[in-house]
Amino acid sequence: MLRSCHPEPAIAVTVFVTALAVAAGRGAAGSAAVAAAVLTGQLSVGWCNDAIDAQRDTVCARRDKPVATGELPGRTVAVAAGTALVLCVPLSLLSGPAAGAVHLVGTASGWIYNLRLKHTVLSPLPYAVGFGSLPAFVTLGLASPSWPAWWAVTAGALLGVGAHLVNVLPDIEDDLTTGVRGLPQRLGRPACRWLAPFVLLAAVGVVVAGPPGAADDSDRVLAAAAGTVAIAGTAVPSGAGSRWPFRAAIVVAGIAVAQLVLRGSDMA
């Protein structure tokens, strides 16, 4: 069950958003509520993905998918996905109705991607909505709720699109063979490998340039580090099935979140 929930992105997103909540002033209880809601939402989307893709993963002989290898019944994963989604509702609403609604919209976008949009040119849209909604989930749950600054939402959306591009990279050939034709599959591997770092670096650039005040040395150092990781993870050739591009995206996302944390008081 742990391997089937897509643990790397689930844990990374939960940690990143919890850090944002702490930086924005949600306090211990509020930050714990954010962590619980985001984790259940991510688990629901991950298990939903494996349940829906079970047949396709079996055809592609995916050894990293427990349902495809027969280690885990597809029905078990589907029930787990539904259960996590149900739990996500009250946990999201612990942050208030507005914040809860925003987070549930973001979680629903992940389900919509799995169910339909991953097969269309609109495949990046659920990622943009899901990641872009996370800063709003944090700031709308403050004692004095407010929408987040434009640059926080924009950076989140760009990070989501970048994550989508690099997540698809290892599986483009298998996806095309089984009829999955989202935007990255239509663009092809070479285009995605070069487009992904530019999208991710654009997210970092927005976080550096967007907040009020001039960028300082820490911003420049983090931006340079993000550039190095993005290029290393996506431009350097890697074999089919490699997960390094996605891991690089997680690191770049972490750098962007570090910048958001440093500017946390400006986000609301």
Looking at the structure of the chain, the number of domains it has is: 1
Name every residue whose Cβ is closer than 8 Å to that of residue 77 and which is 6 or more positions away in sequence.
1, 4, 47, 50, 51, 54, 67
Comparing 237 with 191, the larger pLDDT belongs to 191
At 148, which amino acid appears? Answer: P
pLDDT at 56: 84
State the residue range of the domain holding 187: 3-267
CATH number for the domain that contains residue 187? 1.10.600
Contact in structure between 74 and 51 (CB atoms under 8 Å) = yes
- pLDDT digits over 153-162, tens only? 999 999 899 8
The pTM assigned to this predicted structure is: 0.90
| 173 band by pLDDT with thresholds 50, 70 and 90 | confident
Give CA 197 to chain center in angstroms: 15
- pLDDT digits over 130-154, tens only? 999 999 999 999 999 999 999 999 9
pLDDT at 228: 86
CA distance 132 to 123: 15
Average pLDDT over residues 91-118: 97
Is 122's pLDDT higher than 80?
Answer: yes
Is 238's pLDDT higher than 70?
Answer: no
